[in-house]
Amino acid sequence: MVQFSDIAADLEAQAIELPSWAFGNSGTRFKVFGTPGTPRTPEEKIADAAQVNKHTGLSPKVAIHIPWDKVDDFGALGRYANDLGVSLGTVNSNTFQDDDYKFGSLTHIDPVIRQKAIDHHYECIDIMSEIGSKDLKVWLADGTNYPGQGDLRGRQDRLATSLAAIYDRIGEGQRLVLEYKFFEPAFYHTDVPDWGTSYTQVAALGDRAMVCLDTGHHAPGTNIEFIVMQLLRLGKLGSFDFNSRFYADDDLIVGAADPFQLFRILVEVVRGGGYGPSSPVAFMLDQCHNVEDKIPGQIRSVLNVQEMTARALLVDRPALEAAQAAGDVLGANGILMDAFYTDVRPSLAAWRESRGLPADPMAAYAASGYQATIAAARAGGTQAGWGA
Ligand code: LRH
Ligand code: MN
Ligand code: MN
């Protein structure tokens, strides 16, 4: 049996990057409900993200999305974040909100539009260099709605050429991570629909190009932990966008819809060397909070990842390997389930307190009065991001 005390040191280095856009209002095409206190500026999003780190110690970085978080002086934005105890992380490009990209961005048939999309990525790389960010995350809405609408092969070839032009500018110590998604907003075909396509494209670029796995971007029933294993085996798992889903790209709180799936994913992460200070895998959230308050929503999210990481670390590896080797099907399964069913919450609460953090971060945030303060201070404002 592995005890919590055996794994406590491994929890020390856990860092889960927060998406700036999680702090803005969001919804579906049917309705976006406003939340009092929603940030009006990138600075206010960062201030809210800093609250999550203050109460959990788990989220020292904030990912930004360009142009949603565009400011005149990124150096100053970075210093502002540092003053609040966090730093700016992944830079996400955005080629899905400009009319020019109606029929594609990096895959567009018109070289002028393609160059515009490439130039946007150059701008993102410049921002990364200014703020000391390591990762450029590329997610493309490119695809078609009707069979015959586009030449699938030609689009894939143009994608490869465009990505190569972007990768050329990626500096030492920087990476390009390519995210895949099986559908939406395109419904017939998507140009980077799956891990295999993302892998094929980044493998052609070089060592500093990796795959981003967004847990919400798979068809129902997909064995995501198998993909995690394979990408780690290939040395190409660059980052996670964590969230959870019941139906499509729901962007719900990670670990809320299917905690067991999150556990299984983290078991493969640990098994494949994807966890720990020397791992190249960046843990990130990519979520929206449509009906719940955003800051507690993010606090709950990072705690869910921490709890499932602890449980994954509790798997008795030698015993599991012995059971597997002996063909002990139910024994092996039982060893995994023992770890999954271990309630680590009391141990984590004590562990947090021993580090000067609140035992219960959700309660500590609720008692802090921050939510009422921002609701009063930001009343009547317009939110930043998502279309801004
Ligand atoms: C696409 C996606 C991608 C975007 C984010 C806002 O569905 O997951 O990561 O950058 O949502
Ligand atoms: Mn994502
Ligand atoms: Mn998504």
Residue 67: inside a domain: yes
Taking residue 254's Cβ as centre, other Cβ atoms within 10 Å add up to 29
Distance CA 326, CA 346 (A): 34
Residue 10: inside a domain: no
Backbone angles phi, psi at 237, to 5 degrees: -85, 105
Cα(311) to ligand 1 centroid in Å equals 28
Nearest atom in ligand 1 to 214's CA: 8
Cα(371) to ligand 1 centroid in Å equals 26
- Give the pocket of ligand 1 (CB within 6 Å): 21, 92, 139, 179, 181, 214, 241, 249, 286
Structural domain including 309 reads 15-377
> What tens digit of pLDDT does each residue of 197-217 get?
999 999 999 999 999 999 999
For residue 232, give the H/E element and its range.
helix 224-233
Test site for ligand 1: of 241, 250, 288, most ligand atoms within 8 A of the Cβ: 241
Q: Which pLDDT score, from 0 to 100, does residue 36 have?
A: 93
For atom 5 of ligand 1, the residue with the nearest CA is 286
Average pLDDT for runs of 10 along the chain of length 388: 96 96 94 94 98 98 98 98 98 98 98 98 98 98 98 98 99 98 98 98 98 98 98 98 97 98 98 96 98 97 98 98 98 98 98 98 98 94 69
In the chain, the largest separation of any two C-alpha atoms, in whole Å, equals: 66
Residue 386: inside a domain: no
Tokens of 127: 């921002």
Nearest atom in ligand 1 to 94's CA: 10
> What tens digit of pLDDT does each residue of 1-19 get?
899 999 999 999 899 999 9
Burial tier of 305 (Cβ tally within 10 Å: 0-12, 13-18, 19+): buried
Nearest atom in ligand 1 to 179's CA: 9
CA atoms within 13 A on the CB side of 273: 10
Which ligand approaches the C-alpha of residue 242 most closely? 2
For atom 9 of ligand 1, the residue with the nearest CA is 139
Place of tokens 């609701």: 375
Residue 382: inside a domain: no
Residue 6: inside a domain: no
By the 8 A CB rule, do 154 and 187 touch? no
Nearest Cα to 276, choosing from 5, 7, 10, 8? 10
Q: What CATH number should be reported for the domain holding residue 265?
A: 3.20.20.150
For atom 11 of ligand 1, the residue with the nearest CA is 286
pTM for this prediction: 0.98
For atom 1 of ligand 1, the residue with the nearest CA is 139
For atom 3 of ligand 1, the residue with the nearest CA is 139
Which ligand approaches the C-alpha of residue 63 most closely? 1
Interface predicted TM-score (ipTM) over 0.85 = yes
Domain count, the chain: 1
Cα(6) to ligand 2 centroid in Å equals 33
Residue 388: inside a domain: no
- Give bridge partners of residue 212 from the DSSP assignment: 179, 239
